[in-house]
Structure 1
């Protein structure tokens, strides 16, 4: 393996091993943090509104937020409102005593929907089961299958509409007259537009949990058009059309574009790359500007590398291409490809660290396993690229000779010719040197031509594997990041609800929130926020969907208002409900509930 390729693999390993192990926690893929009223709360009077707090900014888009009575009728008084991380649903002032179910489906900053439900009671009544609404919260299978197709079209089109012109401009100016490369570029623009429109049409049904038949629903289209995701994908389509339009005259003339057109094309290409990066996981969590920049560099490196490979395979490496032309094309391409691959490896590793965070998440989540598969294929790509790079260096004479090493046949022939010129007394040495140079080029071209099929096979492997890598990338974009799917400690402050309304609060922490042994800490506070000592306290765990529990949790006092359950056992994975019951005195009791995932 060549030294540059070894360096790239070393960088990849260093980022994944060092970064994933040492990365700190980061927010992503919004999760519900708290609700008011709380889960399972029993209220004496109806609240004016229901408030849900999420871990990051959300939007309603084509989603919904509803409050239903026990008979399934909607009782919310108006449209839900979103303010950053907070979702508010207004309620009428005369809400009767009953059990109520809050259901929601919102869109996180990374364009993925989050749905759920919880219940509370006003006056006397029973809690409403979370599945009583009869609404399937999952994404329609046809929509889920079509979304990656749209993303794949966008990635493949980006590689062609950006990478092919870069290759021609920087490595093979004569390629502006190649009809096949013109068709590749236009096909790339068409693919970007098709992928963007398909993504735009599917975003509404995806956010609203509707079927594939609702892609033309005016309300869903309007909601998508009003969202950041909708604007971004539409801008992507327009930029692709504009870029193709700017480059088309150069293709028709068969000559490189003028400098002003090159500048305009560069700006449009940068905008196209940025609009591709500014959707999905990079825009969520901390430092979105930096994450989008990293993703844009990653997308640009992908486009330059894979677009150049497609151009090589389509025209330059076809049978009958003069080997001399190959030398003029492949030597600069080898340097450009190395730079693009270096950018891909480094930025890809940074993205992996951001989205995974821990070795556990890498091998315990769908996102992690898809990423592992992608990394293995990238390793195959790098190996194939290394073979191609060695071919270029050895067959086209761009590699520097090793001191004391064996010289090739071309080098021996040139040395012999040069030696004859040194002994030429008639002053014809210049002509002999020129003949020797011609001999060197001829021998080099013959040797290169003999091995062009091997290079073609190597590039074909690169392109074939790249198609699969792009497909896995399209799946990753729509998969919740590993860091949001792996087990995370619970740390939440809950209001204590009693017959007279809120009465203090309880802070609950569960670590590590995984099946098996866990440690739970409870801190009780009065209305003034000071620690308070209750007359009695009980805690229970239940997993309603699996009909487990309630299971009593043994508590030990650890200080004023502080209780610990060291070694609390959670039997298995699922969405668990933790219920806290606090008896403040002989006549006053309060409760609090929260749900948390165990994976």
Structure 2
């Protein structure tokens, strides 16, 4: 950011530090809101449930809306054969898997892989048993495919290329409109913009192709699989991604006559270009984490502002390096363009800072998550690089001030004026106009002396651009990483219906605090059909971690009042996705069950 300012700390940097300090201080008092990421909330039948008859269907409920997409939902018998009808359906956050009729008493495994609203796959498996048989090992019966390592690497790489190309393809024309109108005649700017927009379209197509294998856990060999292409094409993610590529190509086509003309566009043309550019920015923001969870419209709008500010700032850096800062450039061009760019860049960085902090509060949730999750550590690395960018921008400002500054007399003393004065219109009476004109003349002389040696400024901006490229890579990694607020340890507090062979029979309220590996406290409240605290003949609570083949582990409960039990110091051996199952026996012949899965960090 080659902004021009007085010798004082950069305002965006101060704003960033103030906002972060305020968030960290608030986080000491209270945790922020949880961000979006789908998790399994409850199942029917529950994990480890023992039923008297085969249910007609299996139901899984998630914490947010999901879709099957390129995933699957199956129920398998003891030998791994499918026993569902193949007609699994999703309605918002609930997945329903109908079962075939006349199934025998046996153990059954439910296995699923669904796509969350933020385009990430969620998978798992669990077992239940009908009759007196032995409970099957879900992990042994249903092997869940992990993401192919090549696909997992290629997808964020495609996003990174798309982000960088968007900054060039949109940011360079923005720089020309706002700071360097004469640049519309530059062939270098034309090639840079056209290649950037073409790369945006190519990266969008590549991202579209990779999403199917990523969602299905398949390799690069299935990149053109018709079923996966159809699945991605019918999803909001796929349509939005293809829309971004199409808008970039249309924008490139509309710019062709402007490049041939070599003059700045007229107001109506600017409006059309702005609409298309805003469409590219909006389709970039309207995928991933912003569209999932609470207040998606607000989150998408904030992200769109963040992306737009990034485009303007980094595109300006590219234009400076490729077109403006080169030997032999006219002194008057620098004197006019740099002050304009100063104001635009400062506004862009301020917008980046504010929207970045808003995004962090939503996706991270609490300051503790910054240092306890992968998302938090990547975000901290990005923050450190942004601060480095601002430091490099400060060096650029000092260079510009030293080479383009001037002294303008005023009543009562002398005043140091930066290059912002070069573009200032004459105001006031006739006596002031000659002063401004003289100031511009002296500035032009100073600028001509500086043009012969722009190498120091060019090197500093090259450092900015290099660091910015790494920031874009980290941003692409954040898009594919579950938000910190969804992965940090959160206390469990849920009420589940108790299921028996005769249907629902009362409910159980469970709480686990803090839901971390080690000692925890569990409270269990049992209610009858009328919502009154109930006292059963027997109560059993177990913990299971299917993926690590741990459990079931019995939880030692102590009575704490009518219908209330507590397990103080209950030990959870390690991190993972644990399932707590409750079995309530009202009499010798009737038993009800409930279960839920929860993450342990």
Q: TM-score, normalised by structure 2?
A: 0.91
Please show how residues 377-526 of structure 1 align to structure 2 within 5 Å.
377-397=385-405, 440-449=442-451, 452-498=454-500, 502-526=504-528
Please show how residues 173-252 of structure 1 align to structure 2 within 5 Å.
173-252=181-260
**Unpaired segments of 5 or more residues in structure 2?**
1-7, 420-430
- 1:378-399 CA distances to partner (integer Å, 9 max, x unpaired)? 0001111222233334432389
Name which of 62, 69, 75 aligns with 1:61: 69
User: Shift in Å at residue 185 of structure 1?
Assistant: 0.4
Q: Distance in 2 between matches of 1:440 and 1:75?
A: 86
Query: Given the superposition, is the C-alpha separation of residues 257 and 533 from structure 1 closer, same or farther in structure 2, using an over 3 Å criterion?
Result: same
- 1:172-215 CA distances to partner (integer Å, 9 max, x unpaired)? 11100111111110111111111100111011111111111101
Preserved CA contact (<8 Å) 2:59 2:94: yes
Question: Paired residue for 1:418?
Answer: none
Q: Distance in 2 between matches of 1:301 and 1:498?
A: 57
Aligned to 2:119, the other structure's residue is in SS state coil
Q: Distance in 2 between matches of 1:33 and 1:75?
A: 24
Residue 8 (structure 1) aligned with residue 15 (structure 2)? yes
Question: Paired residue for 1:282?
Answer: 290
Preserved CA contact (<8 Å) 1:5 1:386: no
Please show how residues 151-170 of structure 1 align to structure 2 within 5 Å.
151-170=159-178
Question: Paired residue for 2:598?
Answer: 596
Preserved CA contact (<8 Å) 1:15 1:349: no
Question: Paired residue for 1:81?
Answer: 89
Query: Given the superposition, is the C-alpha separation of residues 508 and 233 from structure 1 closer, same or farther in structure 2, using an over 3 Å criterion?
Result: same
Query: Given the superposition, is the C-alpha separation of residues 518 and 251 from structure 1 closer, same or farther in structure 2, using an over 3 Å criterion?
Result: same
**Unpaired segments of 5 or more residues in structure 1?**
412-428
Question: Paired residue for 2:424?
Answer: none
Question: Paired residue for 1:366?
Answer: 374
Query: Given the superposition, is the C-alpha separation of residues 75 and 586 from structure 1 closer, same or farther in structure 2, using an over 3 Å criterion?
Result: closer
Preserved CA contact (<8 Å) 1:524 1:531: yes
User: Shift in Å at residue 548 of structure 1?
Assistant: 4.5
- 1:411-466 CA distances to partner (integer Å, 9 max, x unpaired)? 9xxxxxxxxxxxxxxxxx99998996686235422453365222111111110000
Query: Given the superposition, is the C-alpha separation of residues 172 and 25 from structure 1 closer, same or farther in structure 2, using an over 3 Å criterion?
Result: closer
Question: Paired residue for 2:574?
Answer: 572
Q: Distance in 1 between matches of 2:370 and 2:89?
A: 36
Question: Paired residue for 2:565?
Answer: 563
User: Shift in Å at residue 20 of structure 1?
Assistant: 4.9
User: Shift in Å at residue 12 of structure 1?
Assistant: 4.1
Please, which moves more after superposition, 116-125 or 284-293? 116-125
Question: Paired residue for 1:532?
Answer: 534
* Root-mean-square deviation (Å): 2.7
Aligned to 1:285, the other structure's residue is in SS state coil
User: Shift in Å at residue 558 of structure 1?
Assistant: 2.2
Preserved CA contact (<8 Å) 2:542 2:581: yes
Question: Paired residue for 1:111?
Answer: 119
- 1:365-409 CA distances to partner (integer Å, 9 max, x unpaired)? 111111110000000011112222333344323898999987789
Q: Distance in 2 between matches of 1:587 and 1:45?
A: 14
User: Shift in Å at residue 526 of structure 1?
Assistant: 2.0
Name which of 312, 329, 332 aligns with 2:337: 329
Preserved CA contact (<8 Å) 2:522 2:567: yes
Tell me the number of residue pairs that the alignment of Structure 1 and Structure 2 aligns.
582
> Radius of gyration: which is bigger?
1
User: Shift in Å at residue 542 of structure 1?
Assistant: 4.0
User: Shift in Å at residue 585 of structure 1?
Assistant: 3.1
Query: Given the superposition, is the C-alpha separation of residues 330 and 68 from structure 1 closer, same or farther in structure 2, using an over 3 Å criterion?
Result: same
Aligned to 1:131, the other structure's residue is in SS state helix
Q: Distance in 1 between matches of 2:231 and 2:112?
A: 16
Query: Given the superposition, is the C-alpha separation of residues 434 and 528 from structure 1 closer, same or farther in structure 2, using an over 3 Å criterion?
Result: closer
Preserved CA contact (<8 Å) 2:492 2:511: yes
- 1:3-60 CA distances to partner (integer Å, 9 max, x unpaired)? 5244333344245424655453335110011111111111211111111111011111
Query: Given the superposition, is the C-alpha separation of residues 380 and 404 from structure 1 closer, same or farther in structure 2, using an over 3 Å criterion?
Result: farther
User: Shift in Å at residue 346 of structure 1?
Assistant: 0.5
Query: Given the superposition, is the C-alpha separation of residues 436 and 336 from structure 1 closer, same or farther in structure 2, using an over 3 Å criterion?
Result: closer
Query: Given the superposition, is the C-alpha separation of residues 378 and 17 from structure 1 closer, same or farther in structure 2, using an over 3 Å criterion?
Result: same
